[in-house]
Structure 1
Amino acid sequence: MKPKKNRASGRPTLADVAKRAGVSEITASRAMRGVKTVGPELAEAVKQAAKAVGYIPDPAARALASKRSRSILVLIPALSNQLFIGMYEEIQKALRAEDYEIFLGNYHYDARQEEKLIRDYLVYRPSGVLLTGNEQSAAAAKMLKDSGLPCVYMMDLLETPGTISIGFSQEEAGAAVARHLIATGRRKLAYIAAQLDPRAKYRGQGFQREIARHGLEPAIELRAPIPSSPGLGADQFRSILGEYPDRDGLFFCNDDLAWGALMEASRLQIDIPERFSIVGFNDLPLSAHMAPRLTSVKTPLDEIGRHGAVTLLRLVRGQPVESACCDLGFELKIRESSLFSGGAAP
């Protein structure tokens, strides 16, 4: 006999599953949700019955019944940015291992888009939210607060009471680059940035602070309010040559900008690092294979994603977390692009 269809949707119902498995609807529901009071053999029988009748659970109905869905909202500023791909992969692995689905919001570094995504997805009652940074609009921040959902902020370190954050100090990373360039004998420095998101701003602030601490003139800054790319890096490198020919140490806020600078220097037959020391940020895989190999700040992006997801799941379950502000650190990977012979590596 064919399973009875839901009159409204035409789909098999939970009652069909329960009848085929020979259990009550409540037991079938618990088995489908993975409730541990249902024995493994009975749970398997219910799952096989669901497969046989073609039953597909309705996540919206489940969320309505439980006031929460088994889903997590993940907000990423740009999936076109290579550095977020690995982070998202780790988030996905950690959440799917615990049978959570993902609502992915890509807001293109636009606070208004992020606000709209939050408004749209909160309707589906996710169990929690993973955010990148804490630059949400006032309206978005209020929606998150009013929702009562557990939230974890990735990338930045936040000291705000009641806020859970996982990342590293962007300012300290910028300061480490300045110390390295100064230690290798560079005195005329430049900070070259794109996208102009708050994290790039914080790196620049740390860079300038350390330069001032050494009593040197401030670094000149070249900023472009567009996404970073090797092409933009090449353009910015040419701007340095034309407008600031006295510079000798260049800190690019992203590796792809630094790649463009290295390739343009090679095209123009400008020696790196004798003429310029060049440092990037994030230590993307290609950086260790450039010619010369690029000095860069290695950031724990994959670990941030994994740790962020695991921490959020603990909050969803009402379990304590180790730290409200988890600093995963960074590492300056020193390579040939900054090893100027006029100084020594620290």
Structure 2
Amino acid sequence: MSRSGSRTTGRPTLAEVARLSGVSPITASRALRGVSTVAPELVEKVLAAAATLGYIANPAARALASGGSHSVVVLIPSLSNQLFIDTLEAIHEVMRPRGLEVLIGNYHYDVAEEENLIRNYLAYQPCGVLLTGFERSEASRQLLTASRVPCVHMMELGGDAEAVSVGFSQHQAGHAAARHLIDRGRRRLAFIAAQLDPRVMQRAQGFRQALAEAGLQAPELEILAPQPSSIGLGGELFSQLMAQSPQVDGIFFCNDDLAQGAVLQALRQGIEVPRQVAMVGFNDLPASAHMVPPLTSIRTPRAAVGRAAAQALLAMLDGKRVAAGQQDLGFELVVRQSS
């Protein structure tokens, strides 16, 4: 026979944790979820009771019982990109004090995989969803609309007029990179990109626009590779570009890891940076300031985006009116010795 208050599985229940710690089930639930309004001494008692009993919360059952859950779904295209790691950390910092669990879905830049994740996670009745960008399948859009779950879009601006988005203009960032190289006197400008997700292509459009405005269009100086971005690939693509177009004197890379690989490859090949070719990266990853020479890059507000998107979602969950539209957090051109 199972102990009193247990389910037929014999597993310890929240009611047992509450009894052992001398608090109400609601207080026990809040303490276990990390809600900041619970007194520290009560949290300590509840955690000790849960540890004694070996209690593990069942989020699916909790969602079913309450008609919802204490979970927020965050969908990102990559866990290997520092950009999204910083964003996730900031989201956790905002959600944790409210006792909200963050469920992470990595869809590897695949809209079909994202659709499957959306379908599966919505079954848990999350209280909100944070999405990366606006590029997804029509089925995904219909699922999200039908669920009526509050959503906030991150990393880019635009999309549906009724959407809430937090990010910066990828197009303007690409334009700024080109404009910087032009202002430095560079005239044979190349663009090297990998992954080729929608945000990369928005940067490409901004870069091309700046070149067109200056009368410097050179589509033959673009290398667009579908592979995931990496330091190794950056070195390979740089060598390919310089072999076919040695007159290039300025390059914008869609991500810092590509640019870092190019800086290292230039050193191996005896190509002087920036005297022979100037380089600009994107995202200003931590290692970029320590390259030889230090890398000029577009610094993106990745942590600020996660924080602001999470705060906007919390406001929606609190019933506050969050006007649809764009929250533009901007970007910064960090000029170093590579340009």
TM-score (norm: length of structure 2): 0.90
Which moves more between the two structures, 52-61 or 212-221? 52-61
CA contact (8 A) 2:173 2:298 kept: yes
For residues 168-193 of structure 1, the C-alpha deviation after alignment (integer angstroms, 9 at most, x for no partner) is 00000111111111111111111100
Partner SS state of residue 270, structure 2: coil
Look up the match of 1:139.
139
Cα distance in 1 for partners of 2:22, 2:273 equals 74
Cα distance in 1 for partners of 2:204, 2:250 equals 14
Question: For residues 49 and 213 of structure 1, do their structure 2 counterparts lie closer, same or farther at Cα, with a shift above 3 Å needed?
Answer: closer
Cα distance in 1 for partners of 2:38, 2:97 equals 21
Partner SS state of residue 337, structure 1: coil
Partner SS state of residue 338, structure 2: helix
Q: In terms of Rg, which structure is larger?
A: 1
CA contact (8 A) 1:195 1:225 kept: yes
Partner SS state of residue 250, structure 1: strand
Question: For residues 261 and 312 of structure 1, do their structure 2 counterparts lie closer, same or farther at Cα, with a shift above 3 Å needed?
Answer: same
Look up the match of 2:46.
47
Q: CA deviation at 1:57?
A: 3.7
Cα distance in 1 for partners of 2:277, 2:27 equals 64
Q: CA deviation at 1:84?
A: 1.3
The root-mean-square deviation of aligned C-alpha atoms, in Å, is 2.5
Look up the match of 1:342.
none
Question: For residues 256 and 56 of structure 1, do their structure 2 counterparts lie closer, same or farther at Cα, with a shift above 3 Å needed?
Answer: closer
Cα distance in 1 for partners of 2:38, 2:285 equals 47
Look up the match of 2:247.
246
TM-score (norm: length of structure 1): 0.89
For residues 145-169 of structure 1, the C-alpha deviation after alignment (integer angstroms, 9 at most, x for no partner) is 1100000110001252220100000
Q: CA deviation at 1:221?
A: 1.0
Q: Which runs of 5+ in 2 are unaligned?
A: none
Look up the match of 2:180.
180
Q: Which runs of 5+ in 1 are unaligned?
A: 339-346
Q: CA deviation at 1:50?
A: 4.9
Which moves more between the two structures, 310-319 or 210-219? 210-219
Q: What aligned pairs does 1:26-45 form with structure 2 within 5 A after superposition?
A: 28-34=24-30
Cα distance in 1 for partners of 2:140, 2:167 equals 21
Cα distance in 2 for partners of 1:78, 1:128 equals 20
Structure 2 residue identity aligned to 1:267: R
Cα distance in 2 for partners of 1:60, 1:21 equals 24
Structure 2 residue identity aligned to 1:311: A
Structure 2 residue identity aligned to 1:86: D
Structure 2 residue identity aligned to 1:29: P
CA contact (8 A) 2:69 2:127 kept: yes
Question: Structure 1 residue 119 and structure 2 residue 83: aligned?
Answer: no
CA contact (8 A) 1:18 1:46 kept: no
Look up the match of 1:341.
none
Cα distance in 2 for partners of 1:122, 1:188 equals 49
Look up the match of 1:79.
79
Question: Structure 1 residue 289 and structure 2 residue 306: aligned?
Answer: no
Cα distance in 1 for partners of 2:57, 2:19 equals 16
CA contact (8 A) 1:159 1:325 kept: no
For residues 250-286 of structure 1, the C-alpha deviation after alignment (integer angstroms, 9 at most, x for no partner) is 1110001011111111001111111101110000011
Question: Structure 1 residue 329 and structure 2 residue 325: aligned?
Answer: no
| Count of residues in correspondence between the two structures | 332
CA contact (8 A) 2:128 2:313 kept: yes
Identity in percent: 50
